[in-house]
Structure 1
Amino acid sequence: MAETFSKRERRKKKIERRREKELRRDERRNTVTKGKSLDEMMAYVDENGNLSETPPDPKKSYTIAAEEIVIDIPKAAPADSEELPTGVISYFDPAKGYGFIVDEQTKERLFVHVKSLAQPDMELNTGDRVSYTAMRSQRGMQAVAVMKR
């Protein structure tokens, strides 16, 4: 039985794609074996932080103590260690008993629950200024000992 034109064209395209794939694979294999030596692949960083092919001058090198290296930026400590951080209630749902506080300095958002209020009968509303103590919980930062200002 004779093969239709479309089937024959599909088969030709499939064979051509397979051949192209084999050629690409062979090229990758050849470039790996024909690669440069380790010395040719080395890159150095100069005193300005730019990449270069020449190794640095050992006379210009100096050692740095590991304690001097700062990996991250420390968070700013409050001006008065006795003063509690303050914030504004950005959202509070009294029916559900939870909300969020936005810290005035860091703009960090903290979770607040009715159980973590300093006075259990205190009511919080959106826009109230409060002071609190921050504590890390399982789900992130949480405000405890919350008091209105």
Structure 2
Amino acid sequence: MADSFSKKEKAKKKAKKLKEKAERREQRKTDNNKGLELKDMLVYVDENGHLQDTPPDAPREEIKLEDIQLGAAPIEEEDPIKTGFVEKFILEKGYGFIREENGNGDNIFFHTSDLLDLIKQQDRVTFEKERSPKGYKAVNIKKA
């Protein structure tokens, strides 16, 4: 008996897949790296992290052990007494904000309990900057 059309098509597809698989196997055999010398398999990384086939020509920069810093950067001591002016002061609520003269432009909170002198808005003041759970806070505030 003769095969039906669909059986012939399935057989053709199967034969085609087997042929493609054999071709891929042959391609892998020709493209493999087995049997290469060590120098052909080495890859070099330059100072920018790019991979290269040739070793770098430039001499490496020497790094001193003293220059290596482990952990977080050390905190540099600042002058504890700062100067600024009272940007906003709400006497009824008991707090205000000071703008530091040589600062980054942030307002520093203060409470009336930290005042040593009577002040009003736009007064020039000296103060100490202290870290609080919500950010920086001005303490020991005096008129300048």
Report TM bin, short chain.
0.5 to 0.7
CA distance in 2, matches of 1:102, 1:132: 11
Q: 1:6: which partner in 2?
A: none
Task: Find the structure with the greater CA-based Rg.
Answer: 2
- TM-score, structure 2 length as denominator? 0.54
Closer, same or farther: CA 56–95 of 1 in aligned 2, 3 Å: farther
Alignment of 1:33-44 (within 5 A): 44=45
- Tell me how far apart the structure 2 counterparts of residues 59 and 112 of structure 1 sit (CA, whole Å): 57
The percentage of counterpart residues that share the same residue type is 26
Alignment of 1:73-84 (within 5 A): 77-78=78-79, 84=81
Over aligned residue pairs, what C-alpha RMSD do you find?
Answer: 3.5
Deviation at 1:146, TM superposition (A): 0.1
Report if aligned partners of 2:114, 2:141 keep a CA contact under 8 Å in 1: yes
Deviations 1:110-137 (A, max 9, x none): 1110001124xx1x32211100011111
- State the Cα deviation string for residues 85-119 of structure 1 (Å, max 9, x = none): 10111111000010111110013321110001124
Distance 1:143 1:127, change over 3 A: same
Q: 1:52 — aligned with what?
A: 50
Q: How many residues align?
A: 99
- Work out which of the residue numbers 81, 89, 92 in structure 1 matches 2:89: 92
- C-alpha contact 2:97 2:109 (8 A) present in aligned 1: yes
Return the TM-score normalized by structure 1. Answer: 0.52
**How much does 1:74 deviate?**
7.0
Q: Which amino acid aligns with 1:115?
A: S
Partner of 2:134: 139
Shift of 1:56: 5.6
Q: Deviations over 1:62-84 (max 9, x none)?
A: 33235435786976945xx7xx2
Structure 2 unpaired stretches of 5+: 1-40
- Which among 99, 119, 123 is matched to residue 128 of structure 1? 123
What 5-or-longer segments of structure 1 have no aligned partner?
1-39
